[in-house]
Structure 1
Amino acid sequence: MKLTRLIRASLLAGYPLVAASPALAEHATTPQSREDALTDTIIVTARRSNSIASDAVAAPRQIALPADAAAIAARVAGGDIFGNGALSGQLSYRGLAGERVLGRVNGQRFASGGPNAMDPPLHYAPSVLVERIDIARGVAPVAEGPSLGGAINAQLVQAQFTDGEALAPQARMASQYRSVDDSYAVGGLAALANDSWRIGLIASREQGEDYRFPGGTAVGTSFERNLYGVHAGYRTASGELFVEYRRSETDPSGNPPFALDMVFFNTDFVQGGFRGQVAEDVGLTVRLGHVAVRHLMDNQTLRQPAAPPMQARATFADADTMTAEAALRFGQSRSHIELGADAEITDRFVTITNPANPAFFIDSQPDIRAERFGAYLQWRGGLGAVQFEIGGRIDRTEQTAGVPQLGNAVPMGPRGLAAAFIASGRNASDTTFDGVARLWIGGEALTPRLTLARKTRVPSVLERFAWLPTEASFGLADGNIYVGNQALEPEVAWIAEAGFDLENDWLTLRPTVYYRRVDGFIQGTPFDDTPGIVNSPVEMVASMGGDPTPLRFRNTDAELYGADLDFVVRPVRQIELAGTASVVRGQRRDIADDLYRIPPANLRLSATWATDRLALGAELFAAADQNRVSQTNSELPGDGYATIGLFARLSFDERLAFEAGVENLLDEDYAPHLAGRSRVGASDVPLLERLPGPGRGIWARLTAQF
């Protein structure tokens, strides 16, 4: 029995299979390279229908297409989203988020360009172009690279090889209108391919205005983004040579929880390599990549009201990431040894300016460089009925910071902090070790599974080298001011999780319980023993920024534990009930406090009735109150809520479909607990209140494949 379980949009994610027949498989396979008792896959657009195995009829489920692909990934069991703006959401997975969850697009990892993570990895995956989202269940294998928790990869649509020698055209298109923010999205693929060559062009355009909620309009939430690219592959008897290039251009887009909004992100992606078999039972994968991010954010272009001249800020940020990886696999898919190595080199530079005063500028992250080199060994095999995947990896990380430059208009407080930073070591090095052991027993209907792991995370360059007290916190958006700490040690997580997959003709059920003990958990803590008393240079500068109680990143101890499940019930052929349920608890072990931004318990239920051409359904999402909140981060409790949506899909044939629906049918006034707090003054959302969810609206979408 194949251990992969597919969380398709038509099954659990509630998302349309773009350009696909409504008669897609209940348990379709996906082109994974490793065993997937270990991976959740959300398919958001279908491959060409003849490449998806079918063994039953599934009715597609549909939701309004969010611009932020993180909102799709958040629908997985154990998932939620940090709502920091229409294009800046971060996946929260089993209570972990940010750099603790490995994020990639098309298998390529890279550094965010924004110091406050305005561009987390899925910022570069427009939903209208996403083909599937793979999420490592609970713990990422060592082969995927270092990460404290799971891993996520968004795969964009690409041309596919065919079975014939003649070049054949391929095309996909999706377009949508959404009334709640008067937004539209359009994107697609145009390609030519045969059995040896494939070349494709992709492009998308998205634009939306400030969204409406029952209390008015959430000002400062408009967005605009373009993406275009080209990719190609050449297949030989031994494998495929591939190359791709993409350009992502985000124009002025709002980030109400932050002090600044996006003016632009201009980002170039390039990667290429080889994947295939170089000898009998010997596989080789080689990949090289480069990502260049150029970013500007300010409080003038979109912010209402704009900051007065003295407080006007425009921050320029660059980030360049070079990656290289290679892996050799000896053996068959179910019994092999994989040996690999990878490298990641990142250069960052961040300068804060005042557009009204050229003499005011501060290099808050000057010439920051991080180099990581790693190697791993992973063994996949079996012992009797027990199957296993066991791996270990070692990584060496070097981090350095340059000398900050300051303009003549910068006051003495920051100058003193800059001088102290220049006199410090401004470098760090760490050697980390990860180990993951997964075991499962495959059966016709029941698959028990167990995972034990030791995972690590090296402190980020922001956590170590943020010498200037600012609100940059990689997207926490809690209004606190943070400062770095060069004495930080890596986080070490000890993880255990257990569950089972149960599947028969009418039921699919996958519950998991887990425990994660984290030593050295990096958390913002009071800067000194006298919070609120301004008696240090850091507190003086922070007080000038409006917060006399700054937080300093320190190693603490924490634990996260919980349970989640997804299920599908098929009482009759035309009716399907599906859903997810999740609960997680996160708390400090060194003091009596809860961790910040831990999702509340939530439940998602959907029901669909479908024929070969028509599907109708409804979805309920409910979140409980969240009263276990972080006192350290001044977090306020969150209220529970429930929303209902309706959806329908009409398939004209296997290549053309029309979809429509109503979101928030009852016009519920609610604010998700993980939503950021608005910093926009001229908005119907009160200052420092959580951003509300969108109100009632309709949406319509047309999808096609040729």
Structure 2
Amino acid sequence: MNKQFWAPRGPLTPGVCVWACASVFSMASVSRAAMPVEQGERLPEVVVTAIHDHSFAQVVTDPKQPRQPIPASDAADYLKSIPGFSAIRSGGSNSDPVFRGQFGSRLPLLTNGSQLMGACPSRMDAPSSYISPETYDQLTLVKGPQTVLWGPGASAGVVRFDRLPPEFTEPGARGSASVLGASHGRNDQRVELELGNASMFARMSANRAHSQDYQDGAGRRVPSAYEKWNTDVALGWTPDAQTLLELSAGAGDGEARYGARGMDGTQFRRESWGLRFEKRQINSWLSKVEAQLYHHNADHVMDNFKLRTPPASGMMAGGMASNVRRITTGGRVAATVQPAAQWELTTGMDMYTSPHDKRTGTPLLPFQTKERVRDAKFSNWGWFAELGWQASVQTRWVGGLRLDQAKAQRYGTAQVDTRSSSAMPSGFLRWEHVAADGTTVYAGVGHVQRFPDYWELISPGNSAVGKGNAFVTLKPEKTTQLDVGAQWKSDKAQAWVSAYMGVVQDYILLNYPGMTSSVRNVDARTAGLELGGSYRLTQSWTGQATLAGTWSDNRTDHRPLPQIPPAELRLGLDYAQDAWTAGALWRLVPGQHRYSLDEGNIVGRDLGASSGFGTLAINASYRVNSHLKLLAGVDNLFDKDYAEHLNLAGNAGFGYPGFARLQEPGRTVWVRADFQF
């Protein structure tokens, strides 16, 4: 990083605007990865402000499509476009996604079907921080415990970011790119290239995201600068239309400073590789066989001296660094059979093993001079089967069963503590119905047993070696949930709703008494809904609205569960005519007065009640030709000074009071150019 990374933050200059608008970089509109639409339906090329439900208990969207607020720097930032999502904020980037008030391993994030896990004991490098959404073709969210196909413990849902294999019928090449410039020194670049013919392909992608510290609505500088990059390549062999063999590899790195943490992230190194095989339409009853292997190495460094001035006194006086690494290796095999036209069964197995190690250092004694020390190792084996039955033209039943065997090891100086689970069952049953007018409804009940994860078994104070027995006594979490939903559509209007109600036995809760943390089990109840709709006012103008809210209760202690976001209402107005589009987004969030002081999760805790706020954002775009599209927008148009409820307390090293939430960015102007070649 050069010195200008820490330069004073100001508004976007005209020079940057001209540079970005004149650039010939753009994001391609990849039709094969776009959200499926009904025959004859046309999706306008507007900037996305809210992503709607797509089908039964599921959302499918194209993460390459531009969105507002300012295009995302990581997965958590993008997921906030989906009603029901929020994020535990810690500054400019690397937030931790929250869906329906649930986070962590309750909401696994998969990339190309693989588990990507961070290494930091306090999730500074959450899995979402390693994901650049625009380098993927398709994002799929399954709400609630309504699938068993994609790993263990998914009580809140499953998020999948997938890259789809490019299709070539003859030799050719195509590519896309984009460039973005914005206030606070924000500038992003992305490029993708695909080469291939009918029997093989190569795909390469690279991106970089950079921002200086932002200013909040009151003009105060918030320590939040970051810079990150990713590059990935995939080589594929397609001897026929039904066969795929793909080898992939990738790497990335970055750094970020945090006004709400005692350390900054000065390394987010990722190394990944994967191998997958798919064969379709094998015979009359075996429709698909798939297998994959993957390997992720997350090598993370935290310190308090590279991106800030270290304290002169205290436990970290003079500077301290911590290097943590987590290596996750896993695989999956599955087969899809159709014994009859109305039946489809997908069954298989998945597994992963994930050791974790650490080392520390100081500026005078760098951690690189020390050996890594193993502190934990987690593994899981799972068997799954999901069966679909088309009972009639209008009605379908889907059910699944999953059994998981989990194991955790904690390494001390003299011994290794081991605990494992018996076969933990999970399953669901869902009814889906399509009425004669096209209205769809569904209802499903699901049950998930989730083994405690690394952050719950290793990080809390009463789980550490020699300090408690929570590692042994903490029970798996058991969630039983009812999910219902409906969609309706006419020529000019559409509406959808999804709701849920759940009971959680042995919910895993963290307490923060004083300077330490402890973990325990409680019983809980959850409920909530997401709803939305749109109405075409004229041929060019469309209005839309979404509302999401969640409620949770700690039944053991008779108080609210912590870290529950307030309700959120989004009102939008879109315009699309020929080459022009425009839009406005009004986001309204009430104050959250249901909280549980000093309780939370491994990242955040409740700091008390929060105030409500409203922000307005606008955008416009112009398609110059089939290759170039220019976009611009303003977030927080009226420079509102506000903070999100889910937030980390400011760090005293930057002069913040211990219980003050970090304020969000003030007015942010952004411009972007998309190019397809």
Both proteins in one fold, TM over 0.5: yes
Gap change, CA 1:151 and 1:359, over 3 Å in 2: closer
Among 135, 152, 158, which residue is 2:159 paired with? 152
What is the CA distance between 1:144 and its match in structure 2? 1.3
Task: Map 1:52-451 onto structure 2 (within 5 A).
Answer: 62-146=68-152, 147-156=154-163, 160-162=166-168, 164-165=169-170, 167-179=171-183, 181-237=184-240, 238-250=242-254, 252-277=255-280, 278-282=282-286, 283-304=288-309, 306=311, 308=313, 310-311=315-316, 312-331=319-338, 335-356=343-364, 366-384=374-392, 385-404=394-413, 422=414, 425-443=417-435, 444-451=437-444
User: Are residues 1:599 and 2:568 paired?
Assistant: no
Cα pair 1:457 1:490 within 8 Å, conserved: yes
The residue that corresponds to 2:670 in the other structure is 699
Tell me how far 1:373 sits from its aligned partner: 0.6
Residue 48 (structure 2) aligns with: none
Kindly provide the amino acid, as one letter, of the partner of residue 122 in structure 2: N
Aligned pairs for 1:549-564 (under 5 A) are 550-564=516-530
1:426: how far off? 4.2
Structure 1 distance, partners of 2:496, 2:247, is 37
Of residues 581, 585, 588, the one that matches 1:622 is 588
1:356-413 superposed Cα distances (whole Å, 9 cap, x missing partner): 5689999998341112111011101122332111000000011112224xxxxxxxxx
Q: Residues 482 and 183 from structure 1, CA distance in 2 versus in 1: closer, same or farther, beyond 3 angstroms?
A: farther
Matched, 1:44 2:63: yes
Aligned residues: 621
Amino acid at match of 2:549: V
SS at match of 1:135: strand
- Shift of the alpha carbon at 1:306? 4.3
Matches within 5 A, 1:646-665: 646-665=618-637
Superposed CA RMSD in Å reads 3.0
Is the CA contact 1:21–1:654 (under 8 Å) kept in the aligned structure 2? no
Instruction: Choose from 523, 531, 546 the match for 1:565.
Output: 531
Is the partner of 2:348 in helix, strand or coil? strand
- Whether the aligned pair in 1 keeps the contact of 2:26 and 2:628 (CA below 8 Å) is no
The TM-score normalised by the length of structure 1 is 0.82
2:453 corresponds to which letter in structure 1? S
8 Å contact kept, 2:61–2:140: yes
Structure 1 575/82 Cα, relative in aligned 2: closer, same or farther at 3 Å? Answer: same
Aligned partner of residue 260 in structure 2, secondary structure:
coil
Contact 1:213–1:669 (8 Å) recurs in 2:
yes
In the TM superposition, 1:497-576 aligns within 5 A as: 497-525=483-511, 547=514, 550-576=516-542
| TM-score in terms of structure 2 length | 0.86
Partner Cα separation in structure 2 for residue 345 and residue 424 of structure 1 = 17
For residues 361 and 470 of structure 2, the distance between their equivalents in structure 1, rounded to whole angstroms, comes to: 21
> Any unmatched runs of 5+ in structure 1?
1-15, 47-59, 405-421, 472-480, 532-546
Q: Residues of 1 paired with 2:304 and 2:312: CA distance?
A: 6
CA shift, 1:454, in A, is 0.4
Give the AA of the match of 2:401: G
Q: Distance in 2 between matches of 1:303 and 1:483?
A: 37
Partner SS for 2:149: helix
Contact 2:463/2:470 (<8 A) preserved: no
Residues 189 and 202 of structure 1 are in contact (CA less than 8 Å); yes or no, is this contact kept in structure 2? yes
Confirm or deny: 8 A CA contact 2:463 2:471 kept in the other structure: no
The question of whether the paired residues in 2 share the 8 Å contact of 1:161 and 1:196 is answered with no
Separation of aligned partners in 2, 1:260 and 1:61: 31
Once the 2 structures are TM-superposed, how far is the Cα of residue 17 of structure 1 from its aligned partner? 10
- Once residues 351 and 449 of structure 1 are traced to their aligned partners in structure 2, the CA distance between those partners, rounded to angstroms, is 50
1:693 CA drift (Å)? 1.3
- SS of alignment partner, residue 71 of structure 1: helix
Instruction: Provide the C-alpha distance between the structure 1 equivalents of 2:370 and 2:595, rounded to a whole number of angstroms.
Output: 34
Q: Quote the Cα distance in structure 2 between the aligned partners of 1:329 and 1:73.
A: 30
- Greater shift in the superposed pair: 193-202 or 612-621: 193-202
Three-state SS of the structure 1 residue aligned to 2:624 is strand
For 2:135 and 2:368, how far apart are their aligned partners in 1? 41
5+ residue gaps, structure 2: 1-24, 40-53, 600-605
* Cα distance in 2 between the residues matched to 1:609 and 1:359: 55
**Which stretch shows the higher mean deviation, 167-176 or 80-89?**
80-89
Cα 1:569/1:391, change in 2 over 3 Å: same
Report the Cα distance in structure 2 between the residues aligned to 1:25 and 1:458, rounded to whole angstroms: 35
Structure 1 residues 611 and 464: alpha-carbon distance in aligned structure 2, compared to 1, 3 A threshold: same
The answer as to whether partners of 1:73 and 1:133 remain within 8 angstroms in 2 is no
1:116 CA displacement: 1.5
2:146, 2:371 → 1: CA distance? 35
Aligned-pair CA distance for 1:617: 1.5
- Deviation, 1:62, is 4.4
SS of corresponding position for 2:399 = strand
Give the distance between the partners of 1:461 and 1:653, measured in 2 at CA: 50
1:175/1:469 Cα in 2 relative to 1: closer, same or farther (>3 Å)?
farther
CA distance in 1, matches of 2:196, 2:420: 48
Contact 1:41-1:132 at 8 Å conserved across structures: yes
Partners of 2:489 and 2:641 in 1: how far apart? 38
CA contact (8 A) 1:21 1:651 kept: no
Residues 103, 121 of structure 1: 8 Å contact kept: yes
Cα offset, 1:187, TM superposition: 0.7
Give the corresponding residue for 2:482.
496
User: Per-residue deviation at 1:517?
Assistant: 0.8
Q: 1:688 to 1:137 in 2, by over 3 A?
A: same
What per-residue deviation string (whole Å, max 9, x for no partner) do you get for residues 70-127 of structure 1?
A: 1211221211111124332122111111121011122221221222112222212224
Does the 8 Å contact 2:248/2:275 carry over to 1?
A: yes
How has the CA–CA distance of structure 1 residues 366 and 100 changed in structure 2, closer, same or farther, with 3 Å as cutoff? same
What is the alpha-carbon distance in structure 2 between the residues aligned to residue 71 and residue 88 of structure 1?
Answer: 8
Q: Which of 441, 452, 456 is the aligned partner of 2:449?
A: 456
Q: Do 2:563 and 2:595's aligned partners in 1 also have CA atoms closer than 8 Å?
A: yes
Kindly provide the amino acid, as one letter, of the partner of residue 173 in structure 1: A
Query: Retained in 1: the 8 A contact 2:532–2:546?
Result: yes
Code of the residue aligned with 2:94 in structure 1: it is S
SS at match of 2:162: strand
- For 1:177, what is the secondary structure of its paired residue? strand
Shift of 1:694: 0.7
After TM superposition, give the deviation of residue 670 of structure 1 in Å.
Answer: 0.5
Shift of 1:309: 7.6
Asked if the contact 2:582–2:621 (Cα under 8 Å) also holds between the matched residues in 1, the reply is: yes
Contact 2:228 2:253 survives alignment (8 Å): yes
Kindly indicate whether the alpha-carbon contact (under 8 Å) linking 2:26 and 2:178 is maintained by their aligned counterparts in 1. Answer: no
* C-alpha distance in 1 between matches for 2:643 and 2:131: 25
Q: Is the 8 A contact 1:327 1:338 kept in 2?
A: yes
Between 357-366 and 37-46, report the one with greater CA deviation: 357-366
